[in-house]
Structure 1
Amino acid sequence: MMRSHRLFLIAMVAILATVLFRVPAKADYYGEPAELVDRATSVYKGFLADPNLEWFRNNVGSARGILIVPQMLRGGFIIGGSGGRGLLVAQDAATNKWSSPAFYSMGSVSVGFQIGADVSEIILLIMTDRGLDAMLSTDYKIGADVAIAAGPIGGSAKAQTADILAFGRSQGAYGGVSLEGAAISPLVDWNARYYGQPVQIFDILINQKWNNRQADSLRQLLPKPRRNAQPLGR
């Protein structure tokens, strides 16, 4: 009886260890910042092309920033984890010029009885200055001090009032996503590698002092906002 109990505990520890160690590895699929930029460009194209994301296409130009996470992995057994790396581009409200990308990590942990895993492509539209200011902090949890809502899906979708709108795709299906409590932090080392020296998030996104031409393909896809567009939140 004791032997069976011990073998059961060993098996449980092995399963748990496999999940905990494999989830971050998959979420960190991209070995270099340039690889993540290329994949983010592909994901952004996919969102623009999807017939169910008409609202996204029509309103992305009004966003103050766009955070693209090409691979957000969720999964677990007893302890569930999620994680991914992404990039954020910001739009200058005066010049309509989009910045080069700054790199971020996104992750959260939940506890409960859950089995399985899935991979999602996530895009957050940062609709207000308050939402963008939150992203400039060194460590931010989604939903703290700013309003987040699932992005509208479908041709008849109505406008949402929120600082951040979340859109996601998992296994080919699009829909709104819930990311309340997910932690977002700048990847200081990735930003330094991409621009060749230590850089500040504010100088990349707001002052737009830094540029990497490798990201030009992504930036060329980003629309200019309509001049008469009204902000969707404050």
Structure 2
Amino acid sequence: MRRRLIVILTIITIIAALVTPVNAEEPVKQQLLVDQARIIYKSFMIDKNMAWFREHMHKAKGFLIIPELLKGGFWVGGSGGRGVLVVKDKTTGDWSQPAFYTIGSVSLGIQFGGEKSEIIMMVFTQKGLDRLYASSFKFGGDASIAIGPVGGGAKGDVMTDFVSFVRSKGAFAGMSFEGAYVKANYDWNQAYYGKKVSPVGIIEQKLVSNPGSAELRNTVRSSFK
């Protein structure tokens, strides 16, 4: 009897393993983007041309870090890329879990002429954050953006919602983002956190977390010390 019971239990276990849904794949692509964002942020911080960035970073509410904007990344003749947004908590001063975004335009690649670019956008206003918290928006009509000053002697304040810094092949250059769109990437958020969640749910409501973001958040946090 006991032997028969063991056989039955074994069969049940095997069947359960076969019919139980397989866990979602590990978010390899999403984690790679988070890791790349940390590397880009760190490299921008130590770049001699980023004096203005370092001097004004304490005024920023958040950073949208786009490790790669590729010419023809999403469609022929255009440019596109993915990035992550981290936001500073007004109460604790800590940095949020990353929310994923997609950026694209049919004109960015033509205006810049490069094949691959690394980008950091500083978010300076609540309006800028509110636009990012929406499903999508366009630069120019929905939010203002300026090219960030580069070079050791860069001075002055820039009164816009966003300030962008673009580097291609190791050199900083201007890129107009007027007309470019930014969209919250809900699929990548779900893949990274294991559940459907909005940028507001990630950043403001703190509904989810992923330990894989610790190095990025620590890197941003340590840059303010």
Query: Is 1:130 paired with 2:127?
Result: yes
Q: Which amino acid aligns with 2:146?
A: A
Task: Work out whether residues 103 and 186 of structure 1, in 8 Å CA contact, stay in contact via their aligned partners in 2.
Answer: yes
From 70, 79, 82, the equivalent of 1:82 is 79
After superposition, the C-alpha distances for 1:52-78 in whole angstroms (9 at most, x for unaligned) are 1011122223211100110001259xx
Match of 1:182 in 2: 180
Higher strand share: 1
Measured in 2, the distance between the counterparts of 1:132 and 1:57 equals 20
| TM-score normalised by length of structure 1 | 0.76
How far did 1:112 drift? 11
> Map of 1:1-234 to 2, 5 A cutoff?
32-75=29-72, 80-110=77-107, 117-157=114-154, 158-223=156-221
Q: Which amino acid aligns with 1:60?
A: M
Task: Work out whether residues 128 and 163 of structure 1, in 8 Å CA contact, stay in contact via their aligned partners in 2.
Answer: yes
Number of matched pairs: 195
Task: Work out whether residues 40 and 70 of structure 1, in 8 Å CA contact, stay in contact via their aligned partners in 2.
Answer: yes
After superposition, the C-alpha distances for 1:69-92 in whole angstroms (9 at most, x for unaligned) are 10001259xx62000011111112
Measured in 1, the distance between the counterparts of 2:213 and 2:33 equals 10
How far did 1:117 drift? 4.8
Distance 1:113 1:210, change over 3 A: closer
Which structure would you say has the larger Rg? 2
Task: Work out whether residues 97 and 213 of structure 2, in 8 Å CA contact, stay in contact via their aligned partners in 1.
Answer: yes
How far did 1:176 drift? 3.5
Q: Which amino acid aligns with 2:89?
A: D
After superposition, the C-alpha distances for 1:111-132 in whole angstroms (9 at most, x for unaligned) are 9989x65100011000110111
RMSD: 2.6
Measured in 2, the distance between the counterparts of 1:224 and 1:171 equals 27
How far did 1:156 drift? 2.3
Q: Which amino acid aligns with 1:71?
A: E
**Corresponding residue SS for 2:173:** strand
% identical aligned pairs: 43
Runs of 4 or more, structure 1, over 6 Å off, are: 111-114
Measured in 1, the distance between the counterparts of 2:44 and 2:222 equals 17
Distance 1:112 1:102, change over 3 A: closer
Distance 1:111 1:52, change over 3 A: closer
Task: Work out whether residues 166 and 178 of structure 1, in 8 Å CA contact, stay in contact via their aligned partners in 2.
Answer: no
After superposition, the C-alpha distances for 1:92-119 in whole angstroms (9 at most, x for unaligned) are 22221210000011111139989x6510
